[in-house]
Structure 1
Amino acid sequence: MKTFASLLLFMLISSVLFAQENSSLDKEKLFDYYQNQKYAEAAIYLKSIYGEDISDVIKLSQLGYCYLMSGNTAEAEKYYAKANTIKPNNLPTLFSLASINWRRGNADKAKLYYGEIVKIDSNNFTVYKLLADILTTKDSLRSVYLIKANKLNPTEADVAYDLADVYIGLQKHAIAYKVLNITIDADSGNIILKKAILPVANFLKKYDEVILSGEKILQVDQDALVIKDVAKAYYFTKNYDKAIAKFKLLETLAMQNEATLYYTSLSYRALKNYPAAIAYTKRTIEEGISTNTSNYYALLGLVYEESDKLALANSAYKKGLEFKAEPNIYYRLALLYDLKYKQIKQASKYYSLYLKSKPNPIKDKDEIKYVKSRMEELKISD
């Protein structure tokens, strides 16, 4: 769009510089406004010369451009729309109207204008790229426009990156790899594309390529995702020591996760370092458990209890305690055994555990008061 804007500016300046000789327009003054990016002042000046009733497309476009560049998109649209009415199917005008509406959040109108451009020029790479940018990832037409744009210009990096992402989502890794590889061949210095192709190459078992390319990237950029891809490639080529070294590097960056800890455990197991394998397996399990798991089971238990499924509620509460000893779960179990099951001994156990689990003295003050009172009623010493 920057190239288009520059071209449009050149056309507008040219139209001014080569205007009719009897024009009262001060060309040097207007050119100075453009050079110093004083577009609002340029618009005011042009209106003072052209007046309000303008029917010349070039003059309307000049004013539209000045308002657009000054940030006044509402006025810009007014002038471009009038120019489009007088002279339909003008590509620069349609591009401007589409861009203005996209900037103002009117995506549907922007798509209509871009659609008009496609009717005029079905091989316009720029418009297909812009249409893909407007659409969400859930819109099936987005992939259609990306494919068309990539076909017209297979070496354009942004389109290739987005299209490859679409293919990966569709589990078409081989096609994604091809799309990215063509662009990388044309732009071997594009690190973003080289990073993007690593997980695809890993999926396609091109492990040596991942290691070679990934290690070069890591010499200048310690990207956690690249480290993970290279580590996995080392693992799958059975170079377990290097795999462990890379996975541990992720730990120093605090970027480990369930998967990286799992592969570290597998690597230690392959090396028959069983103590380390056990330690990392335990860490993998811990990483895979959400800190909120106990709360989820507490909620599940409460729902079961409220629907009179007491046995299931009991099981859910106790399952929650396996993940974390939450005061709230002890409280719910105590009430369950006290008020539902009428099992005083079990209720006393959970009332006591509730108080010992250190509930929040401010947030849970009502519950604490109730438990202490209930324990006194039951003549249970805490």
Structure 2
Amino acid sequence: MKKLFFVFFLALLHLVTFAQSIVLDKEKLLEYYQTQRYADAAQYLKSIYPTDTKDVKALSQMAYCNMMAGKLPEAEKSYLSINEIQPNTLPVLFNLANINTRRGNDTKAKAYLESIVKIDTINFNAFKQLAGLIKDSLQLKIAYLKKANSLNSADADVATDLAQGYRDLQQWALGYQVLKVAIAADTSNLFLLQAQLPFANELKKYKEVIYVGEKLLKDGTDANVVKNVGKAYYFLKNYQKCINLYEMLEKMAMQNEMTLYLMTLSYRELKNLDMAMVYAKKTIEEGVSANTATYYGLLAGLQESNGNLTTSVSSYKRGLTFSENSNIYYRLGLLYDLKLKQQKSALTYYNLYLKSKPDVNSEKEQIEYVKTRVSDLKVTTK
């Protein structure tokens, strides 16, 4: 019995001696913090404490320093150790979520945040961060944003994101109301005021759009504000103001199909048919992608492969109405020549292919083949 007591006494004495041997240089650590040398601070703490320490305060310091130094794996290791010793501590769970978000591991981050909202069902920051991690479910994202917004309706980021969700669902009145409440809490927030303009336009609050939008434009020209204010002027039949605003966008090369279309209609209402035709053409050009001809060429090729030759010809020709495309000319030439046996049409498209100036390096073999076929067909089609 005395021997057992003696062994226990020696073990206790060792622990006390070890604990007394850890002398933390607080001034040195403070200097590291003040000069933001967090990596040095982390290394210093690591040299002081054993690798298997269970000291929560020491682990917290090391985790913080490593996280601030960008050493996320080391920070996560320390926070995980703390979580084992003191499970489900909110600051630790938040830090683990933050680390995993920064490392691109959204699944783990969401798991930690979900643990937080189970513990604290009214934790605004957790719901806000959860919403930010949702990429594949608009309904779930909106659900988290609604919860966060109910906890803090004045938060501009949440209000804007929630309104955007409602916009995607075409629920304009709900989005407008969310932003209205946030604006009431911060009437000078230009981002919120700007975000509300498209909602007000959709709800036909045109005078409000113009009043707010013109004030915003005094602080600088913003393309989105100009688009919304111009649209409001159009629907209030102030066609010249609409044109004036959208001309500003043209000068900045920030026009789009909608603005050009409204300019066309505005010129028409002002009986300026010449300008209306100019902008009608611009609207058509803006509405067509530079790749549309290529897309039709792809569709036509698939139809040709499937044996739908007549449909394929129509699709190839439809593509050419959008822009000249040397590949389509070539494919039509082949189709008429080899499959439809219409040699005159084949000759026409082969010539168009050569006139379109195909790349002599990447299409060398095609060019040589077409030139040979053109020579042959000129003889047979006489």
TM-score if structure 1 supplies the norm length?
Answer: 0.88
CA shift for structure 1 position 290: 2.2
* 1:172 and 2:171 aligned: yes
**In structure 2, C-alpha distance between the alignment counterparts of 1:352 and 1:89, rounded to whole Å:** 75
Alignment map for 1:19-34 (pairs within 5 Å): 24-34=23-33
Deviation for aligned residue 1:258 = 1.3
CA contact (8 A) 2:22 2:49 kept: no
Give how far 1:173 is off.
1.0
% same residue: 54
Q: Which amino acid aligns with 1:108?
A: T
The CA deviation string for residues 1-24 of structure 1, in whole angstroms up to 9 with x for no partner, is xxxxxxxxxxxxxxxxxxx99973
Residue correspondence of structure 1 range 102-121 to structure 2 within 5 A: 102-121=101-120
Q: Secondary structure at the match of 1:55?
A: coil
1:342 corresponds to which residue? Answer: 341
How far has the Cα of 1:329 moved from its partner? 2.7
Question: Could you say what secondary structure the match of 1:378 adopts?
Answer: helix
In structure 1, distance between residues paired with 2:22 and 2:358:
84
Hey, what's the Cα distance between the residues in 1 that align with 2:295 and 2:170? 32
The one-letter code of the counterpart of 1:320 is G
In the alignment, the residues of structure 1 paired with residue 324 and residue 36 of structure 2 have an alpha-carbon distance, to the nearest angstrom, of 65
After superposition, the Cα gap between the structure-2 partners of 1:339 and 1:112, relative to the gap in structure 1 and judged at 3 Å, is closer
Superposed counterparts of 1:218-233, under 5 Å: 218-233=217-232
**Inter-partner Cα distance in structure 2 for 1:116 and 1:299:** 49
The aligned residue for residue 14 of structure 2 is none
Aligned counterparts of 2:124 and 2:283: Cα–Cα separation in 1: 47
- Alignment of 1:273 onto 2:277: no
Match for residue 160 of structure 1? 159
1:352 equivalent in alignment to 2:358:
no
- Equivalent residue letter for 2:223: A
Q: CA, structure 1 residues 48+305, in 2 after alignment: closer, same or farther (shift >3 Å)?
A: closer
Contact preservation (8 Å) 2:336, 2:346: yes
Alpha-carbon separation, structure 2, partners of 1:247 and 1:272: 18
**Aligned with 2:321: secondary structure?**
helix
Distance 1:83 1:235 in 2: 62
Please give the TM-score of this superposition, normalised by the length of structure 2: 0.88
1:156-200: CA deviation from partner (whole Å, max 9, x where unpaired): 111111111111112211111111111112112221111111111
One-letter amino acid matched to 1:169: D
1:67-100, CA deviations, whole angstroms, 9 ceiling, x for partnerless residues?
2222222222222212121122322222222222
In structure 1, list runs of 5 or more residues that go unmatched.
1-19
Cα distance change on mapping 1:301 and 1:120 into 2, 3 Å: closer
Report the counterpart of residue 284 of structure 2 in structure 1: 285
SS in 2 for 1:323: coil
Task: State the one-letter code of the partner of 1:84.
Answer: N
Q: Counterpart in 1 of 2:78? A: 79
Which residue identity does 1:62 align to in structure 2? Q
Deviates more, 1:161-170 or 1:181-190: 181-190
Moved more, 332-341 or 83-92: 332-341
Count of residue pairs brought into register by the alignment: 363
Q: 1:307: how far off?
A: 2.4
The question of whether the paired residues in 1 share the 8 Å contact of 2:159 and 2:179 is answered with yes
User: Could you tell me which residue of structure 2 aligns to residue 237 of structure 1?
Assistant: 236
CA distance 1:83–1:277, change in 2 (3 Å):
same
How many angstroms apart in 2 are the aligned matches of 1:230 and 1:164? 19
Per-residue deviation, 1:213: 1.0
CA distance in 2, matches of 1:325, 1:40: 60
Distance 1:28 1:327, change over 3 A: closer
1:39 is aligned to 38
Deviation at 1:66, TM superposition (A): 1.8
* Cα contact 2:138–2:165 (8 A) shared by 1: no
Distance 1:313 1:95, change over 3 A: closer
Q: Give the partner amino acid of 1:74.
A: P
